[in-house]
Amino acid sequence: MRHEHRPFWLKKLFTNLTNTYTRHFLAPQLDALGEYYQILEPWNIVVFGKNIRIGKAAHLTGTSDGKIRLTTFQHKHNHGSIVIGDCCLISPGVRISSQVGITIGDSCMLASNVYISDSDWHGIYNRTQPFKASGKVTIDDNVWIGDSAIVGKGVSIGKNSVIGAGAVVARDIPANSIAVGVPARVVKQINPKRHMITRQDMFGKPEELHAHLTQLDRYFLKDNTLRKWIQTKIAPTQKD
């Protein structure tokens, strides 16, 4: 559809049902899920393992062809963990797999199909031996990782840095850097003295933001009718 045809009350009902699913089916699978989340299609978020924590004001979008997968493994003395900070964006198709520990700071953005892993999962010469080489991954605050990028074991990405689409991060990336390529290399510096607006600036006051967005929905959807919405589902036209 080119436009949103749902009446305000119907959109609100769908949002409430989605939040109910999140509270009763997704949240119990996590060790923590902060308040004020916005999770679209939570039934397309797959969780396996324990020690998975997500901060407040998280935005996650799962789709049927781009499920978000959060996976931790326990093996001998190692215990995987995934800790995601406040106000983070997790896009469709993101996979995060941990055997020793992955930490993602506040206000980070992971574009579609990003893969983050802290282990090689198998040995080079003995490929039946699991978890052969592992190393914790640390992603600092306000990092933006582009579409289909891969972050490998044992690396850290510094605050405010940007990882280009399709890059493979195999070594540390310092703060305030833009890195691209395979393997990822720094190609540009970000000026730390310039004012930067982060997701935390936008979502740091979630109660006010929620009230504002609700008012906007009420205004823009006020003329929508149930009859028109049903018509767009049965016989949509080019104008819809």
Q: What is the CATH number of the domain that holds 45?
A: 2.160.10.10
Domain presence at residue 37: yes
> How many domains does one find in the chain?
1
pLDDT attached to residue 221? 82
Domain presence at residue 233: no
pLDDT attached to residue 79? 86
Q: Within 10 A of 1 (CB to CB), how many other CB atoms are there?
A: 10
pLDDT attached to residue 166? 97
pLDDT attached to residue 202? 85
Q: Cα(225)–Cα(240) distance, rounded to whole angstroms?
A: 13
Q: Which amino acid is at 234?
A: I
pTM given for the model: 0.91
Structural domain including 37 reads 31-203
pLDDT attached to residue 99? 93
pLDDT attached to residue 1? 65
Domain presence at residue 102: yes
Q: Cα(126)–Cα(133) distance, rounded to whole angstroms?
A: 12
Model confidence pLDDT, tens digit, residues 150-196: 999 999 999 999 999 999 999 999 999 999 999 999 999 999 889 99
Domain presence at residue 3: no
Instruction: Using 50 as the pLDDT threshold, list the residues of the chain that sit under it.
Output: none
pLDDT attached to residue 226? 85
pLDDT attached to residue 3? 82
Strand partners, 98: 72
